[in-house]
Amino acid sequence: MTIHRESKGTILVTTLFLILLNGATAYFFPENDTLRKIVIVLSMILAVIVLQFFRVPKRTTVQNPKYIIAPADGKVVVIEEVIETEYFKDARRQVSIFMSPINVHINFNPISGIIAYFKYHPGKFLVAWHPKSSTDNERTTIVTKHANGTEVLFRQVAGAMARRICWYVEVGTAVEQGKEFGFIKFGSRIDIYLPLNAKIFVKLDDKPVGGETVIAELV
């Protein structure tokens, strides 16, 4: 299993914590074999949880200029028409994918093109499914312009547990559909803003696979 490069700090802190926890248990409770075994088992479970969170899956993207590929693993929690106020300033179809702590948190480019706009917004850490998380939480706004002129906006939105948003793009960068563009640690979400005439293929509570599932088609 390949581990993501964003894992280094978290794995180091987790390892030190588990060493101290097991050392303290052995020092203060040297005669309590049952307690020490319980702590060891719990430590192994925590280590596995952290490692699986940072796993790098193998994904195969069937590229198509008309398709919008899921930018993340998770569950579809929003499909609605909204007014996008930062960039387009008009009506768009919003599709939001919530990522729980057990999901892969790598973010994938939904389309190929050139990054036309990028902005980082510091903010709050409301739970990722909160209605105001898209506008009040720490987030990034990224717009990719396809060769045919179509622009798609997507946001990385931090959640109550997500305290670090990572991105690997900047304005003018050429990106490829299905390739990694960022990472969000722990619970979070991604919002995608599409033209109103886009054909949506997912439904609420669907669980798309980042980099593979086609969530919409541009008309």
List, by residue number, the catalytic residues: 188
Average pLDDT, the chain: 89
Domain map (residue ranges) of the chain: 5-53, 67-217
Q: Is the pLDDT of residue 38 over 90?
A: yes
The pTM score is 0.83
CA pair distance 184, 103, nearest whole angstrom: 11
- Does the structure show a pLDDT above 80 at 1? no
Superfamily (CATH) of domain 67-217: Glucose Permease (Domain IIA) (2.70.70.10)
**In this structure, are residues 67 and 217 in contact, taking their beta carbons and an 8 Å threshold?**
yes
Tens digit of each residue's pLDDT (9 = 90 or more) over 108-162:
999 999 999 999 998 765 665 555 656 677 889 999 999 889 999 999 998 765 5
Burial of residue 14 (number of CB atoms within 10 Å: 0-12, 13-18, 19+): middle
